[in-house]
Amino acid sequence: MIRTLIHLLLFLLGLLTVNAQNITAKIVDSKSGESLPYATIKVNETTNLVSNAEGYFTLTESDNNDTTVLSVSYLGYVKRQLTVAEMKNLQYTISLEPGVFELENMTISNVKPDPYAIMAEVKKNLPVHYKNNGESSKSMLFYRNGEYFKPKKIDLEITKSTGYSKEGLKSTNADVNAFTSKLIAQPPQEFTDILCNFYTCSKTKDNKQIAYPKLEVIKATLLKNGDRSVSLEDMQHMAENIFLKHLDTTKYYRVKSGIFGSRDTISLRKSYNAKKNKNKTETPKLNSSKTSISSFLYQNNFAQNTKLNFVTNPELYEYVYEGKTFNDKDELLYVLRFKPRKSKAKYTGKLYVSETDYAVLRCDYNLSEGKTLGGFNVKLLLGIKASDNLSKGTIIYKKNESGKGYYLQYASMETGQYIYINRPLKFIELTDSERDVVAFDLKVEGNIGDKTEFLNISKSEIDENGFDKIKEVEFNFIKLNRYDPKVWKDFVSIEPLEEMKQFKTTD
């Protein structure tokens, strides 16, 4: 009897443990079974979530009660409402029915709307929909940034050595081979996650409306490959240190690359580096994070960022009307595809435009084949080439509760660059007598990239007095060496992609 009671108690505790965990579900197309990325999930009509690029989203412990109501919507599909209990019965997979309605099903006339006339109205209304309307607000945001460097080739070859002993040269070559092999086998990458309250307040200064931001960080994590940085500058410093540690630690050196010389004096002398590091000032994390979020909002604002020229300069593009669909508010939307018509046009993609006020509620864009956003090629002169060859994203806007204007609810933006570096580098001793000189060739080829996701979880208005009372406090990232879902179990976040889930350091 006692044993039975113990088993029953353990069973109930097991149930409590299961129920106390976050739960993850997937949104798919009911016909094809394919995942639906960036679908909107509203929890009890208060909290906004979004499915990730693989169609997954996660409910926190406080939102996973069986009675919790989920409203799931995706442009081009029929909206669906269900409880968490119903979702569990569906094995945590929510299917949405395609719901794109062609023109003949929606109107009496057989004349299709003119996509260029629609885009002319879109452009005319940009200042009305996306510029600051003077309202102060508080938004709970989740902001994720991932950076990576994927090298194809890294070669370091010593071409001259007067400052090395034979043993030192042998040891250096071993360190160099280990360094380059590790970078290629385990490419550097890092992820930062920030959950925060982001406040904006419009104040008049010199007869101009200026929006002031404040940031209140709730939680922030940094997932990184140990001390290996994604920054090319940091990687160059790592390579320099490999060479430097085998030189005379009592001497001072300067680095020269081709015809260019560095003004920085470098040494392994402890007293020198201690003084040098003491004078370094670290950028406050609060200010840098606030700047990053503000910049991201600007980059994804149709009225401000002219790089989104498929909206700001429609004369550069060719548009095709595909039909109409409904959004989650049962409003009709025009569906337009676009591609470059003139050389300044860079993107292909799709727009969803409100039939009522010509606001763009969603766009999916990708750099058109053969197009780049810039770069330079001084391979012959300086041994450097770079090309901005990756740019894609999704932008989703929602109407403000006041009915005036729209706010950014979700955005995903990925950029990337191809780089080629073939440079001679020299360590030259700083002395008036005979100098130690170590020269080597550096060859690097690969791709660097950056992906950022932004989710506005909830948004409300505040007054100027409330804004002024907010006190900003500096914060530190929680540093992780592997992805751990428990870190975010009590907080709303964007479900990470499989790449991030599998991340772990191997140092």
Lowest average pLDDT, out of 261-265, 343-347, 447-451, 502-506, goes to 261-265
pLDDT of residue 19: 40
Confidence of residue 337 (pLDDT cuts 50, 70, 90): very high
Query: What's the pLDDT score for residue 4?
Result: 39
Q: Within a domain: residue 105? A: no
The answer to the question of residue 404 being in a domain is yes
Q: How confident is the model at residue 196 (pLDDT cuts 50, 70, 90)?
A: very high
Indicate if the pLDDT at residue 146 is higher than 50: yes
What's the pLDDT score for residue 490? 83
pLDDT of residue 12: 34
Residue 4 lies in a domain: no
| Partners of 109 in beta bridges | none
Domain enclosing residue 418, as ranges: 131-307+373-501
- Find out whether 43 and 58 touch, Cβ atoms under 8 Å: no
Q: Which residue has the higher pLDDT, 252 or 213?
A: 213
What are the tens digits of pLDDT across the range 57-98? Answer: 999 888 888 999 999 999 888 889 999 999 999 999 999 998
Residue 417: pLDDT over 60: yes
Q: Over 80: is that where the pLDDT of 302 sits?
A: yes
- Evaluate whether residue 422 is within a structural domain: yes
Query: How far, in Å, CA of 278 to CA of 178, rounded?
Result: 31
* CB under 8 A, 24+ apart: contacts of 173-176: 175/242, 175/246, 176/239, 176/242
Of residues 393 and 403, the one with the higher pLDDT is 393
Task: Please report the pLDDT score of residue 211 as a whole number.
Answer: 83
Instruction: Report the C-alpha gap between 467 and 133 in whole angstroms.
Output: 16
Pairing between β-strand 332-340 and β-strand 317-326 as defined by DSSP bridges: antiparallel
pLDDT value at position 209? 75
Question: Which one has a higher pLDDT value, 383 or 395?
Answer: 395
Residue 380 lies in a domain: yes
Evaluate if residue 505 carries a pLDDT over 70.
Answer: no
Judged against a pLDDT cut of 90, whether residue 123 lies above it is answered with yes
Is the pLDDT assigned to residue 245 strictly greater than 70? no
pLDDT for res 278: 54
Of the candidate ranges 223-227, 339-343, 452-456, the one whose mean pLDDT is the lowest: 223-227
Average pLDDT, stretch 393-422?
Answer: 92
Q: Does 132 have pLDDT greater than 70?
A: yes
Mean pLDDT across 281-300:
90
pLDDT of residue 14: 37
* Residue 195 burial (C-beta neighbours within 10 Å; 0-12, 13-18, 19+): buried
Q: Give pLDDT tens digits for 50-59.
A: 999 999 999 9
Does some domain include residue 70? no
Q: Which whole number is the average pLDDT over 296-324?
A: 95
10 Å CB burial of residue 324 (0-12, 13-18, 19+) is buried
Q: For 177-188, what is the mean pLDDT?
A: 79
Task: Kindly indicate the confidence band of residue 265, based on its pLDDT and cuts at 50, 70 and 90.
Answer: low
- Determine the pLDDT at residue 182: 77
In a domain, 218, yes or no: yes
Q: Can you give the pLDDT at residue 498?
A: 85
Residue 15: pLDDT band with limits 50, 70, 90: very low
Average pLDDT for residues 216-227, to the nearest whole number?
A: 86
Strand partners, 24: 58
Q: What angle do CA 157, 158, 159 make, to 5 degrees?
A: 110
pLDDT higher than 90, residue 198: yes
Share of the chain above pLDDT 70, in %: 81
Q: How many domains does the chain have?
A: 1
Average pLDDT, the chain: 83
Does 67 reside within a domain? Answer: no
What's the pLDDT at 33?
A: 92
